[in-house]
Structure 1
Amino acid sequence: MKITILTLFPKMIEGFFKESIVKRAQDKGLIDIRIVDLREYAVDDYGSVDDRPYGGGVGMVLRADVVWTALNKVKVKSEKSKVKKVITSPKGKLFNQKKAQEFSKLNHLVIIAGHYEGVDERVLEYVDEEISLGDFVMTGGEIAASAIVDSIVRLLPGVLKHEEATQKESFFSTAINQLIGAIGENSILKKLRDKGIKKVQLLEYPQYTRPEEFNGIKVPAVLLSGNHKEVEKWRLKKSFEQTLKKRPDLLV
């Protein structure tokens, strides 16, 4: 897979991709990450890439011609259905695990990191989606772009030593009938099943490691029992309880 990031501040994200799992994925040739400096496509010798907004207002707006020129320089060799161009924006669709999984199946993802007061609206004519990390505003899209890349890379085959780790973490999908079989039927699960809902997303179950007792709090006995079937039931039950307590919206 190839990921290209268009940004005004390459140094903000270059270091991020030189560490940990993302670096190892690049070293293995599993992901090709290219960072494009938008200033290389400035409209004049002064390096101008933005300008004041028409109609007045504070801040500077990233120019459409700068972004368009940079996009045209990005080599897209894959078929159209396996390529996407997105821009980070607080006005975009909320990025989530489902979207990360969708993007991980692409051949090429191009991310434009928005900055300053915003990006000229005409840029949106050349992208497929606006993507947001949440209902808050940052000074730029570099952190958002880095987070998106990280969430995608770990889903690629061969990146993690234990690929099953991505199957039972937060936002994993579980069948309603499987839940009922593990923890019994309750009013919430019955209501979901009656609505015709077959699967729900759950948060990850609680994790423990050594020591077995810390400040008077012991590791649940079932995790020390060696009974894998009971451990699996306990984890599924706790995932449901965690979701109900912390993210009930996932069960709607």
Structure 2
Amino acid sequence: MLIETLSTFPNMYDSVMGTSIMKRAQDKGALQFRAYDLRDWTHDRHRTTDDDPYGGGHGLVMKCEPIFEAYEAITRDAALPKPTTVFLSPCGRSFDDALATELSQSERLLFVCGHYEGIDERAYALADVTVSLGDYVLTSGELASMVVIDAVVRKIPGVLGAELGAVEESFAGGLLEYPQYTRPASFRGSCVPDVLLSGNHAAIARWRREQSLARTAQLRPDLLRCADLDEADRRFLRNFLESAHA
């Protein structure tokens, strides 16, 4: 996969893309990453990418001209697939695991990152998808894009060390992930559940499933409406909820 970013602060990606899983994905050849500086497509001596908003108001708005020029230059190479172009905005589609999976199917992603008070509305004509991380505002689209990139890259086959790592994480199956433990088996009076030490893989799998169901019912019951549940799951949930309200 080729991931590209267009922003006024491309150096913000250095630490994130140069360490941990992002770096390993590039070392393995599963990911190529390029960060473009929007200022390279400006034509005044101050390299201006923003201006006062029409109609008045506080703050500055990102200009559309350099964004269009940059997009046209970045996507000009006919040898590369056309990118799925992603804008980050509070007005966008809420980001979730399903959208991360959808974006991970693309051969090429281009993130256009705003700053200041927002982006000239005309630039959104370039967007294939506009993404929101939640009901809050960040100073820069770079920060939001890093979250999306991380979630997407983890889903590229071969990136995670554990073959099924991304499949078993929270939200992948519509449920929160079960509790995890490692050595020591006992710490300050708190012990690892016996079932995890039993070597009984069927019992461990069922325990983990029930823990995911219980945790989701307690913390994110809204997820259960769309989760893929079988009859054993529903029976467990009925008993769990009845005991919780007893």
Instruction: Give the shorter-chain TM-score range.
Output: 0.7 to 0.9
Matches within 5 A, 1:9-158: 9-75=9-75, 77-79=79-81, 83-158=83-158
Whole-Å separation in 1 of the counterparts to 2:18 and 2:97: 23
Which deviations, in whole Å up to 9, do the C-alpha atoms of 1:49-91 show, x marking residues without a partner?
Answer: 11000000000000001111111111364555xx310111111
Question: Partner amino acid for 2:112?
Answer: I
- Once the two structures are superposed, residues 203-232 of structure 1 have per-residue CA deviations (whole angstroms, 9 ceiling, x without a partner) of 100001111112221110000101000000
Partner of 2:240: none
Instruction: Report the CA distance shift for 1:18/1:98 in structure 2 as closer, same or farther (over 3 A).
Output: same
CA distance in 1, matches of 2:56, 2:172: 46
Tell me the CA shift for residue 160 of structure 1: 1.4
Structure 1 CA distance for aligned equivalents of residues 141 and 38 of structure 2: 13
TM-score, structure 2 length as denominator?
0.88
SS for the counterpart of 1:223 is: helix
For 2:238, the equivalent position in structure 1 comes to none
- Letter matched to residue 40 of structure 1: D
Q: Deviations over 1:146-165 (max 9, x none)?
A: 11111111111111122211
User: Against the structure 1 CA distance between its residues 23 and 79, is the aligned structure 2 distance closer, same or farther, given a 3 Å change threshold?
Assistant: closer
SS at match of 2:103: helix
Question: Secondary structure at the residue paired with 1:157?
Answer: coil
In the alignment, is residue 219 of structure 1 matched against residue 189 of structure 2? no
Give, as a single letter, the amino acid of the residue that structure 2 aligns with 1:208.
Y
**Matches of 1:142 and 1:29, distance apart in 2:** 23
Are residue 205 (structure 1) and residue 178 (structure 2) matched?
Answer: yes
- With 159-168 and 52-61 compared, the bigger mean Cα shift is at 159-168
Query: In the alignment, residue 163 of structure 1 is paired with which amino acid?
Result: E
Q: How does 1:210-249 map to 2 (within 5 A)?
A: 210-249=183-222
> What is the distance in 1 between the residues matched to 2:220 and 2:10?
35
Provide the residue aligned with 1:169 in structure 2.
169
> Which stretches in structure 2 are left out of the alignment for 5+ residues?
226-246
Query: Partner amino acid for 2:203?
Result: E
Is the Cα contact below 8 Å between 2:81 and 2:108 reproduced in 1?
A: no
Once residues 193 and 10 of structure 2 are traced to their aligned partners in structure 1, the CA distance between those partners, rounded to angstroms, is 46
Identity %: 44
Distance in structure 1 (CA, Å) of the matches to 2:215 and 2:69: 48
CA contact (8 A) 2:50 2:62 kept: yes
Distance 1:38 1:238 in 2: 47
Which amino acid is 1:18 matched to? G
Q: Distance in 2 between matches of 1:125 and 1:146?
A: 22
Displacement over 2 Å in runs of 4+: 75-80
Deviation sequence 1:119-162 (CA, Å, 0-9, x none): 00000111112111111111011111111111111111111122
TM-score by length of 1: 0.86
Work out whether 1:251 is the aligned partner of 2:218. no
Partner SS, residue 165 of structure 2: helix
Q: Give 1:172 deviation, angstroms.
A: 2.2
How many residues end up aligned between the 2 structures?
223
Q: What is residue 180 of structure 1 aligned with on the other side?
A: none
Using the alignment, how far apart are the partners of 1:169 and 1:44 within structure 2?
48
RMSD: 1.2
User: Separation in 2 of the partners of 1:45 and 1:160?
Assistant: 45
